[in-house]
Structure 1
Amino acid sequence: MAEARRAAVLGSPIAHSLSPVLHRAAYRELGLGDWSYDRFEVEEAALPAFVDGLGASWAGLSLTMPLKRAVIPLLDEVTATAASVEAVNTVVFTADGRRVGDNTDIPGMIAAMRERGVEKVESAAVLGAGATASSALAALSLICTGPVTAYVRSAARAQEMRGWGERLGVDVRTADWAEAAGAFDAPLVIATTPAGTTDALAAAVPDAPGTLFDVLYEPWPTPLATAWQSRGGAVVGGLDLLVHQAVLQVEQMTGSSPAPLAAMREAGERALASR
């Protein structure tokens, strides 16, 4: 009989996380009946003891805020992708006991956009300047051939985004949030801000806009996404990102590939609809 394996998502707050729904759906589809996936409320200060206390049955961890940077000193290896943004959302425990950290948000973003037909763009705009914005810049470094304009609320945030641009090889230009409607001229707009932040911009969406990637999945659709679609634009949503990054996590943790994208998305949609 195969050894039962464990995985989980850690963070704070964590009760809202859809990761258990997505990973368990994958296990069912892959026939991994002896695998389990849970969620644990873990603050940054408690993370070292939690990780050190995990036994040999553990295959991997998913990490959300505020743990994506805090976990790095606890790892034996960090992939180049994760190091590029100093953020780890995936830890895999290898057969020889090593802890390997990766970031599946970045390739997950690229896969979600590719699914909607976005392969390359000549320019882009990013709304916001938090951790998700740096991941967006990392994704854009691979698909955007020209400048990226980041719309931010402070000079400090503008400096941060320009710094990430230099590090990632992206020509980042910054503009004040008050001018954020100017973002809609770009062929690709990535909204990385918390719920409600972009609601007031919905009225400024032009006819025939390009592609909007709104990283929120709850509440969905956002007013911005609704306005975008009503004016003929393509929309990539936060559930698309969540599912694509989870697909990569499942593949890394279980060694089974490809992970069942359609079944995972369906499970996520059902879970959101029932909330």
Structure 2
Amino acid sequence: MKTEQNLKLGIWLMVASAVVFALQDGISRHLGGAYNVYMVVMIRFWVFAAFVIALAARSPGGIRSATRTRFPLQQIARGVILVAEVCAMVLAFVNLGLIQSHAVFACYPLLVAALSGPVLGEKVGWRRWTAIAIGFAGVLIILEPGFAVFSPWALIPFVSAFMFAIYGLLTRFVARKDPASVSFFWTGVIGAIAMTPVGLWHWQAMLPSDWLWMGALCCTAIIGHWLLIKAYAVAEASAVQPFAYLQLMFIALLGVFLFGETLRPNVAIGACVVVAAGLFTLWRQRIKAVEPPQI
């Protein structure tokens, strides 16, 4: 049973992961604006793959145990979908900006809730469907269709959120029989394999200073995932997940003060609506998890 101290630690770890992931996205925006996005993502996944391989090699059973999965096709799909989602999101950072991209991407928990029925066979009640509808109304407030010149790039973070939702649902599906260490291994290795041909095709020479930024990007990716795993290890996921939304605040600070972005009123209002709907959905999910099954 989780203790209060564990819950506090889990919250702080989740907040720390939000800070690190915000820094990661800021570095991705910088590198993606200077070099080809596919090359940047490829190098990031090379380091990620090396990390998970080294981690597996030191674990009981070694690499052979890490590759042993009951769902090879689903694990491959997870890795490919995640690397495609990362590419889409970095493209959105470069062409749309950090703030608006993350404001739209924040709807992914709503997509998870909406898709959990057809994908996992879970029941989604009317309260959560109402929250989902309100959340998507928030996305429309952010995008302002019909009130401004609509940019096709505005759809990219939504597509990215959809892919991340599918990735999350597949992760929950394979977790029924595969341990987290196996899923972590397959994510890194498959992502690197899938991205290598595309990234090498778009290879560009990098400045020595930007190789330092690339190293920082890889370190933030590893540290962020480590903090996230530790947060879920010491506290219930449903209890700490809402604090992941703090990444939006950190992203807004980076966007405004480092990249000269503007936090437009419609984006702020829409993001608040999306986050509120997402928090309600997470709360309902937690309530349903502790409710006794009806006979």
- Normalised by the length of structure 2, the TM-score is 0.23
More strand by share: 1
More helix by share: 2
Higher relative CO (Cα under 8 Å, sequence separation at least 6) belongs to 2
